[in-house]
Amino acid sequence: MRMPSPRILPFVVAILGMTQAKGALAQDAAAGQRVFNQCRACHTIEQGGRNGIGPNLHGVVGRRAASVEGFRYSAPMRAKGEQGWTWTEENLRPYLHNPREVVPGTTMAFPGLRSDQQVNDVIAYLAQESR
């Protein structure tokens, strides 16, 4: 068996490292439920749950922004909804990192999650609870 050139070894190690890093950011709904505990001060997630300071988030993944009946949204969030903006993974990810950057003028006080892993996990939890 012929051994690969030693010059290739750093590339193989780098590729394996990227594969492992990608796996490390896999979504984990159980971990996301723990991350969501930060959100519970303002949001409920149970089907038919009440609105709090923030709207109930059951079914949020795939839902149009600012569409929960009976909740009083900020004008910027209502504008997002009127534009047809929906809570997809692609929209949730930057919003969960920095809500005020995505929706300037939002009344949501939460500053955002810094960890990509926490964002991935909470998105998995929200998706699981959106069924």
| Angle formed at CA 25 by CA 119 and CA 56, multiple of 5 degrees | 25
pTM beyond 0.85: no
Q: What is the mean pLDDT of the chain?
A: 87
Give pLDDT tens digits for 74-90.
999 999 999 999 999 99
We report the CATH number of the domain holding residue 53 as: 1.10.760.10
* Residue 94 belongs to some domain of the structure: yes
What is the token pair recorded at 55? 């709207």
Residue 46 amino acid letter: E
* Residue 118 belongs to some domain of the structure: yes
Q: What are the beta bridge partners of residue 86?
A: 64
In eight-state DSSP terms, residue 88 is -
Count of domains for the chain: 1
* Residue 6 belongs to some domain of the structure: no
* Residue 124 belongs to some domain of the structure: yes
Maximum CA extent, the chain: 70
Q: What is the pLDDT of residue 25?
A: 62
The residue assigned the tokens 């070894």 is 9
Give pLDDT tens digits for 104-122.
999 999 999 999 999 999 9
Structural domain range at position 123: 28-129
